[in-house]
Structure 1
Amino acid sequence: MSHIPPALFVALTELLPDLHVHCAEPWCLIGSAAARLVGADVSVADIDVLVARADADMLATLWTDRRDATHAPADDGRFRSQFARFDFPGMPVEVMGGLELNQGEGWQPVSPGRLILVGLNGLAVPVPSVADQIRLFESFGREKDVLRAKLLRAFASSPHRGED
């Protein structure tokens, strides 16, 4: 696995226990943090958490004092969810409850696919498999996502990569 940047480590060690304790439905990390956790050499500016809508509401109540009420997500015409951004030590956390994607054919639920567990500081972190992360990035279609899919493909074909 590639080195976990200190800011990501700090944020995850505070975030993960709350997710394990308070989420009633399955959840996972997606985006650049998930790619980094499986070993891809990508930069991480925030942590994206995919949860059920009810769990998004519960987390918003739990983390009321952390809420960044001024943040407006980009690409709101492409994505919709029960969205909120929270300030955590290290980096922001973005929670997406019931994330849906519109690629021009109407709103479709985003499915993370097959989840794998990555160990971090004694905690299990659910993330999509490398193949499913590539699929997600490609479906999102933004330039930064296409680049991340390319980096994950290179990582997946590396002879030094561990199995997922």
Structure 2
Amino acid sequence: MSHIPPALFVALAELVPELHVHCVEPWCLIGSAAARLLGAEVSVADVDVLVSRADAEMLATLWADRRDATHAPVDDGRFRSHFARFHFPGMPVEVMGGLELDQGDGWQPVSPGRLVLAGLQGMAVPVPALDDQIRIFESFGRDKDRDRATALRQLRQPSVLSIVSSS
């Protein structure tokens, strides 16, 4: 696995236990943080959390004092969710409740697919499996998402071991 940047570690150390305690329905990380937890060499500026709409509403109430009321996500009309951005130590956390994507054929829910648990200092962090993360990034269709999908695909490459013979 690639090195986890200190800012990401600090954010996850506070965030993940709270999500395990307070979310009623399944949740997971998506985006660059999830890719990094699987070992992709990508930069991480924030933590994206995919939750149900009800859990997003509950977290918004729970973390009301952390809410970044000035943040407006860049929206190209392709995404919609019950969205909020929160201040956490290390880096911001963006919660997306009931995330949907419109690729030109109407609004469709973003499904994380099969989840795997990434271990981080004894914490179990649910993230989409490798192929599901690639699918999600490709469906988003932005340049930064295509780059992240490429970084994840590189994890599929078998390591090459050079065998040296001494004669």
Q: TM-score range by the shorter chain?
A: over 0.9
2:11 is matched with: 11
1:113 corresponding residue in structure 2? 113
Counterparts of 2:61 and 2:11 in 1: how far apart (Å)?
19
Cα shift at 1:63:
0.4
Aligned to 2:39: 39
Corresponding residue of 1:60: 60
Query: Which deviates more from structure 2 when the two are superposed, residues 121-130 or residues 69-78?
Result: 69-78
Q: Which residue identity is paired with 2:39?
A: G
Q: Which residue of 2 aligns with 1:93?
A: 93
CA RMSD of aligned residues (A): 1.0
Equivalent residue of 2:68, what SS? coil
1:121–1:146: structure 2 CA closer, same or farther, 3 Å change rule?
A: same
Runs of 4+ displaced beyond 3 Å: none
Query: 1:33, CA displacement in angstroms?
Result: 0.1
TM-score (norm: length of structure 2): 0.94
Q: Quick one: distance in 1 between partners of 2:158 and 2:70? A: 41
Deviations 1:77-108 (A, max 9, x none): 11000000001000000000000000000000
Q: How does 1:16-31 map to 2 (within 5 A)?
A: 16-31=16-31
The separation in 1 between residues aligned to 2:158 and 2:40, in whole angstroms, is 10
Amino acid paired to 1:66? R
TM-score, normalised to structure 1's length? 0.95
Identity, in percent, stands at: 78
Please give the per-residue CA displacement for 1:109-139, whole angstroms capped at 9, x wherever unaligned: 0000000001112110000001000000000
For 1:159 and 1:126, locate their aligned partners in 2 and report how far apart those are by CA, in whole Å. 26
Q: Which residue of 1 is the match for residue 48 of structure 2?
A: 48
Instruction: Return the offset for 1:76.
Output: 4.7
Matched pairs, number: 160
AA of the residue aligned to 1:121? Q
2:95 is paired with a residue of what secondary structure?
Answer: strand
Aligned partners of 2:159, 2:62: CA distance in 1, in Å?
43
Structure 1: gaps of 5 or more residues: none
Larger Rg: 2
